[in-house]
Amino acid sequence: MYPLFTTVKQYTASFEPLQQGAGLAVFSIGRGSCVQLPTPFNRLLLCSMPISNQVVTIVLAVLLLCGGCGTRQTSGPEAIDVTPESTGEPGAQNSDTKVILDRVKQQHIWDAEHTSFELENRFATRFVDAWKARDATRLETLFAASFTGSALVRDHPQTRSHSVLSETVWSQDNNASQAVTGPQLASQLVAWFDEFQQIQQPKLRVLSIDRAADSKESWQARLLLTAYGVGKSGEQLKLQSEHDVTCRFQEDQELEKGAVITRWSIAQVLECASQQTLMEEVTKETGLADIDLVDNWSLTNGVPEDYRYQMAVADYDQDGWLDIALSCFDGKFFLLKFVEGQRFQDVAASLGIRTTADPRTYVAGWIDYDNDGFADLLLGNRLYHNEAGKRFVDVTAASGLRFHRQAMGCQIADYDCDGYLDLYVQYQRGFESLHQGEQQWVGDNQSGAENQLWHNEGNGRFRLVSASRGYSGGRRHTLGACWFFFDQDHYPDLYLANDFGNNVLLRNRGDGTFEDLSETSGTSDFATSMAVAAGDLNNDGQSELYVANMYSKMGRRIIAHVSEEDYPPGIFQQIQGSCAGNRLYSHRADGAYQESSDEAGVNAVGWAYAPAMVDLDSDGWLDLYATTGFISFDRRKPDG
């Protein structure tokens, strides 16, 4: 088994993200932990510390209430009646065969979500202001006269450390609890900030909620409190805690001024500290801030332009510095040369790379297809031959390669071990045109496009391999894929992370064909997946898989109120997958995989994309890097 991961987020005191916001999470293997702090999307982060010895949530709510096994409209938006006429019986179906929750359960979910919203806004503003100000007296005004509370005894904490990083945990599983009054609890909540010189970004979020059994006016909730800041010695700090709370009120306005808390129990407290940051942001210094990319916060129509870029990294001219190829949905391409490790300079036009007449194809990848030692470039819908790092020549026509619209990425490997690199291209939507009308979103294995495998013939040409060889994995809207070694037979295998439909593991038989081992391998998960990374995390010679998936606190709250009984067979499991969080698969002794993301602490990182495995601190253990976030509406508050 691998060591536990600990969360690292690069800290920036103030930030101006270049694009639609997101965050990142870096999970560092070791026996310790470090601070988790926010960082914007579209940044360049360089390791500055060598260590020796080393959210769509409203749409989701509607889909869940309508059973999830209805249809999605691609021809245009349509209003959804979330209180349809029905028999009121669980599992009742209308004439369109949509599965509708009974009205009582619908109303309960809407009431619970309304209460969550009010807690995260009216109550949270009041609480966080007093908490950040370390004002115990103001916190006391939250507690009703009938208040009962319990707090953890702060002895015998669990501690871990790794180089300059440390983590301390108190929990109900390992520490005793003691009864406290309202003033005593308020004092303890404030005391958690004793080591903070500066407190930044305190937040309150609702993890789960349900109506209390004894009163229509009372709600029981699990709250998540987080805060970041700077310690007295300049160290970076993170505080994260979970609390079981009961609140009682008749009108929403009471949350702003009333004594609404009748019970508060501290369930777990996590303190993290880092003496210095793992990464240093150098976006502006390296010139990446000057790249002409869309700034979603400046769009006049308010419609975000997302899923528009692909990138690939290689030292194309063998000068010892890695360069970046960037492909854009609008047909604009960049080749960013890292000049002497100081600044990136766009040299695309001067080296023969041009814009494309088909701007909807934007593959990016490096492949030395002719084994001359220089990485050749796949960019947009073109293949460019690298002329010894001096220029690039378009050889698309001679190569035989053909890309369909909206390829979601490409994966490079010598799948048949003949000495020449081959190309796997994953697709999401159909080739000819976008599907019109109604389409399933749950149980959908057929509305996407088949992926393609191109065999390198060794003479400068590629041949499209017949889908009958078993490599396509169905038509499941593949967003991410990776080559890896499942069975150590020297023939690379494939894992497909699918937006719709279950994920797929394809074993390479070594004879040019693939077999689907998704079910027997334990990796067939419906989790609305975005991407996947593979690597040997625990240094046992076997590859682990880390799959980036959708995640939503709101979605998990809603799902807690429904069950298998509310849906036809198999549907509930897929609805659960719509906010599953990331998955980590590790090899068992019998050759199959086991899912262990919760155990390793790498599940609930946010709405995740594009993970990577890399040894960031040079301690001999691969770490996990996971970009997260979906839509941000405030430049100062990137989602993630």
Measure CA 289 to chain center: 24
Query: Could you write out the DSSP letters of every residue in 604-627?
Result: -SSSEEEEEEE-TTSSSS-EEEEE
pTM: 0.83
Question: Is the torsion defined by CA of 464, 312, 584, 488 positive or negative?
Answer: positive
Measured distance CA(8)–CA(223) in Å, rounded: 22
> What pLDDT was estimated at residue 3?
43
Q: Tell me the per-residue pLDDT of 35-78, one tens digit each, with 9 for 90 and over.
A: 222 233 334 444 433 333 333 333 334 334 444 444 333 333 33
Sequence-separated contacts (24+) of 108-111 with Cβ below 8 Å? 108/211, 108/561, 109/61, 109/64, 109/65, 109/558, 109/561, 109/562, 110/82, 111/211
Any bridge partners for residue 608, and if so which? 628
Name residues whose C-beta falls within 8 Å of residue 265's C-beta, 6 or more positions apart in sequence: 149, 150, 177, 243, 244, 245
Judge residue 508's burial from the number of C-beta atoms within 10 Å of its C-beta, 0-12 exposed, 13-18 middle, 19 or more buried. buried
Question: Is the torsion defined by CA of 489, 492, 498, 501 positive or negative?
Answer: negative
Class of 104-274 in CATH: alpha beta
> What pLDDT was estimated at residue 76?
34
> What pLDDT was estimated at residue 633?
62
Report which of 602, 617, 608, 624 is spatially closest to residue 537, judged by C-alpha positions. 624
Class of 309-628 in CATH: mainly beta
* Whole-angstrom Cα Rg for the chain: 26
Which tokens go with 123? 């109550």
DSSP 598: H
Amino acid present at 200: Q
> What pLDDT was estimated at residue 493?
98
> What pLDDT was estimated at residue 629?
78
Residue range(s) of every CATH 2.130.10 domain in the chain: 309-628
Contact criterion met (CB below 8 Å) for 606 and 25: yes
Residue range(s) of every CATH 3.10.450.50 domain in the chain: 104-274
Q: Which ranges of the chain have pLDDT less than 50?
A: 1-4, 6-96, 433-435, 640
> What pLDDT was estimated at residue 49?
37
Give first-to-last CA distance, the chain, whole Å: 29
> What pLDDT was estimated at residue 141?
97
Which tokens go with 240? 């994260």
Between the alpha carbon of residue 414 and those of residues 324, 454, 464, 607, the distances in Å are: 23, 11, 14, 32
Report which of 440, 444, 314, 451 is spatially closest to residue 384, judged by C-alpha positions. 314
Measure CA 178 to chain center: 38
Q: Tell me the per-residue pLDDT of 270-307, one tens digit each, with 9 for 90 and over.
A: 999 998 888 889 999 999 999 988 777 776 666 667 77
Which tokens go with 353? 């790379």
